[in-house]
Structure 1
């Protein structure tokens, strides 16, 4: 059975009585999953809400364990890497990865960065060989499709936009996903949230339509 790994990273919930308190990016994620599953019922969805269940930050002990040869690790090192191993297995098994991410301070939420830090490991997601010269890192995984659904309070973060130079969200994520085995990357998002005007409403509706169109394209 094929699998979708669905990662939410907003700290907001989706069940607040005041609609403006709810996460837009998480709502997009549910909209994508509902659209996808209506067409592909055989997919199994693995879901993680990083906002409500944050990953651990990596530590000195984590780094030491990650770089220690696997056959030399003891029980303590295995415990330190347990969360990382679990996240990696979920990524490795996924055919499609769905990440939803609001823009926080022009970048990704800290919980999403922590998730990437847990997964990016030598011998797991990449190999390191100085025989390759100045570019010694190569991804291990391949063949995956990733969909990134975003929301931002301001606008103009896309190519040619007035805030393109301030966008440290999607370019960063796109670069990192190479090491998740992603060969096909798609991004859809809404803007203008802080303005709460017709432009925001139109942006959200366009994003929903783009999600439907994307599901038709790749589903």
Structure 2
């Protein structure tokens, strides 16, 4: 049994390849682990605010010293972190927009990056120690071109960024699934290739 957190970031709905591929992965996981529960966070429908000075000040104020205004400001982060801590498996949909992730997914990452909760600073120029080492994630991405190999590989700032971010907070990436080359072979063929990779995954 798994506690699955399904994170959606595509601004598209019915025609989103990443949503369709993400749903297929969730279905595969729930079939593999009967009794699993799924929580959905759709960042297109319910985006978190981008960080501002008030958020930063709230993060660095000890909980017992936060003002009423700071408690209201930090609510978005607290809710997102609580949901994350309850999950043991993440399915993160990260379609490529202008070579990288959506701003809504970046805002979500900013809100769950919390010292002493999801990571522990080590100082001396070292990367932080991730505190979520009991969790795994599956990355789902989609793109018009082919970025997993070939001439465009160096322009893929989706998988490397999401993978690196997750490693910093301690989460292991268990798989990456792509619906790529949509402008070359068509959306349906690109998506079908992604479905085939899920079907072959054990």
Q: Calculate the TM-score normalised by the size of structure 1.
A: 0.86
1:190 corresponds, among 149, 174, 179, to 179
Q: Is the 8 A contact 1:120 1:179 kept in 2?
A: no
> Is 1:143 matched up with 2:134?
yes
**Structure 2: where are the runs of 5+ without partners?**
none
The Cα offsets for residues 111-132 of structure 1, whole Å up to 9 and x where unpaired, read as 10010011112122112243xx
Seen in structure 2, the aligned counterparts of structure 1 residues 136 and 100 have a Cα distance that, compared at 3 Å, is closer
Other-structure match for 2:161: 172
Other-structure match for 2:101: 108
Q: What is the CA–CA distance in structure 2 between the aligned matches of 1:192 and 1:136, rounded to whole Å?
A: 34
Give the SS at the match of 1:186: strand
Give the SS at the match of 1:148: strand
The Cα offsets for residues 42-66 of structure 1, whole Å up to 9 and x where unpaired, read as 1110101111221111110000110
Q: What is the CA–CA distance in structure 2 between the aligned matches of 1:141 and 1:74, rounded to whole Å?
A: 28
Seen in structure 2, the aligned counterparts of structure 1 residues 181 and 24 have a Cα distance that, compared at 3 Å, is same
Q: Is the 8 A contact 2:119 2:170 kept in 1?
A: no
RMSD across aligned positions (CA): 1.7
Aligned-pair CA distance for 1:206: 2.1
Q: Is the 8 A contact 1:32 1:212 kept in 2?
A: no
Seen in structure 2, the aligned counterparts of structure 1 residues 51 and 207 have a Cα distance that, compared at 3 Å, is same
Aligned-pair CA distance for 1:39: 2.7
Q: Is the 8 A contact 2:9 2:42 kept in 1?
A: yes
> Is 1:162 matched up with 2:155?
no
2:37 corresponds, among 31, 44, 47, to 44
1:61 corresponds, among 44, 54, 58, to 54
Pairing 1:14-29 to 2, within 5 Å after superposition:
14=14, 22-29=15-22
Other-structure match for 1:204: 191
